[in-house]
Chains A and B, each alone.
Chain A
């Protein structure tokens, strides 16, 4: 018995991490959750200065709306409104009953109608992996629809697609309403249309508590693919629904003379989002970096403008004015 007690004593004294660690911070207290999120954003969000946001003022506006007795729904609404003041679709609050969005695409006219393209332009399109494609304008133009950078494509699949259009005069790559995805698919796709390794921009990331604290610029290069490439004119279609990785893609095309952006300004999303949790278990994310062009301008967060602006005419759904303009540009 004495031995057993001794074992209990030794193990009890040496296996209590809670005594050694800092206190448990989990809490459903609305004010503590508000303060936690406000501080996380304050320390790490990357676009305060570009967007001219007074974050202290935001706290003073929203914190008084809460009390220790606020319900989950009230807390969510206040935190969501606070995050939406950042005007950034890489910023979300995620609870089990709702997800907050700023939804930049809804703040501008829509410029893409899938049915019009399916019915009047590519009714017999090939679907090769995540790429939907076919000939336009009697075979003079190739059209490739890539709906999301979250969807990958095989190198062999891309070889097949580009070989199919090797005798065309130019190519249309439709990235309208492409909400982004994996950034690694950006150089994978763009590398098929360039001749030389080219620096296309920079990225900087928060590295300190001041809103202007950023680390050294990280270079963003596009390198030519060693597989099938297409070096004739390429027109990339974009709109406000082209977000995140698509904004990266659009910014990178500015360095290549054979690629033209057409449509509307992209939706932005030039900052890499992070992710985290609040003391009540809800999740959040927000941008912690900035995408810069070669001159050091950070307009990408507000969207990369089209080289040729064209709008979709919603009074005639048998025609896509943006595709028509792209065909004209390639065949003129």
Chain B
């Protein structure tokens, strides 16, 4: 990475993180009203239905069709079912990202190309975590465990002509570590912002940092020539099997996922959070590699379904 690229990347990342921290601050101030108290409805074990919406910025590159990075912006949505207690956690999640991207290449002094591609990223994941009592304390809850993630990409890019449709599956069994820190405000506090002097009430809050590292990394990628004249059996030919002809599973590459999430709890036991999520994967396949990463800011509502 040259120096200019490094600064550009640093500034982009700093901007995203600043937006994240800004909204964190807004959330904290949003609690400063008389109706907000530390919830007494939370049970030792809580069952949540989780709904998220977010903005994402993906980047990907498929060496089989192009040496160029594709970047863009898109929308993200997810739904999850979460069982959470101090001792363990279980999450089943489905999510989808839909982005418009374009290739990044040097500008021409003759005439520049225009064109965009569509990137749809579908994920299913199941995660289990257990508390590490030896390094946890009343403020910091450390959990470890694993997550299985199945990601399916569907890419449409007319610039690639007969390879306009790109499909790949990246599936990983990942080791997970999570630190959840209780940052609740236990006493009323008054801020001194010159003209404004808001009073902040006690509130239950957590901040969570999680990292997932791929241990078993699988990918389902096209064969050597990418597109194939596969068997054609009259009008009975199945277009789906035709499209996936000569795809092969490989076990190689890596995947890394980190996320930081800021929670506030409502008096009724529900919660909301703001998270910054980064996900990156490298899938070499058998012939040519696929690489993808995404930066995401998401807002999540946790509906407490059942208290025990």
Decide: A218 and B227 in contact? CB cutoff 8 A: no
Decide: A215 and B246 in contact? CB cutoff 8 A: yes
Decide: B105 and A184 in contact? CB cutoff 8 A: no
Shortest CB-to-CB span from B97 to chain A, Å, is 16
Shortest CB-to-CB span from B209 to chain A, Å, is 6
Within residues 207 to 255 of chain A, which ones have a CB less than 8 A from any CB in chain B?
207-208, 215, 218-225
Shortest CB-to-CB span from B146 to chain A, Å, is 18
- Category for how many chain A residues contact B: 35 or more
Q: Which residues of chain B come closer than 8 Å to A187, judged between CB atoms?
A: 232, 234-235, 237
Kindly identify which residue among A36, A188, A207 contacts B235, using a CB–CB cutoff of 8 Å: A188
Decide: B68 and A273 in contact? CB cutoff 8 A: no
Decide: B256 and A14 in contact? CB cutoff 8 A: yes
A187 to B223, CA, bound (A): 25
A273 to B276, CA, bound (A): 42
Residue of A nearest to B163 (CB): A275
Asked whether any CB of chain B lies closer than 8 Å to the CB of A53, the reply is no
With contacts A21-B282, A274-B226 taken as known, whether A283 is within 8 angstroms of B161 at the C-beta atoms is: yes
Asked whether any CB of chain A lies closer than 8 Å to the CB of B1, the reply is yes
With contacts A276-B65, A276-B160 taken as known, whether A289 is within 8 angstroms of B9 at the C-beta atoms is: no
Asked whether any CB of chain A lies closer than 8 Å to the CB of B240, the reply is no
Q: Which residues of chain B come closer than 8 Å to A3, judged between CB atoms?
A: 183
Decide: A207 and B65 in contact? CB cutoff 8 A: no
Q: Which residues of chain B come closer than 8 Å to A223, judged between CB atoms?
A: 233-236
A-B pairs with beta carbons under 8 A, tally: 197
Q: Chain B 152-190, CB within 8 Å of chain A: the 1/0 string?
A: 000000011111100000000000000000010000000
> Interface segment, A24-32, A128-136, A159-167, A309-317?
A24-32
Asked whether any CB of chain A lies closer than 8 Å to the CB of B61, the reply is yes
With contacts A205-B228, A276-B66 taken as known, whether A16 is within 8 angstroms of B260 at the C-beta atoms is: no
Which A residues fall within an 8 A CB radius of B?
3-4, 7-8, 10-12, 14-28, 36, 44, 71-73, 94-97, 183-184, 186-188, 191, 197, 203, 205-208, 215, 218-225, 272-283, 285, 288-289, 291
| Given A21-B293, A97-B111, A186-B232, 20 extra CB contacts under 8 A | A7-B21, A15-B258, A16-B9, A26-B104, A27-B105, A27-B106, A28-B105, A28-B108, A72-B110, A184-B235, A208-B224, A218-B228, A218-B229, A272-B227, A274-B162, A277-B103, A277-B160, A279-B67, A280-B108, A281-B106
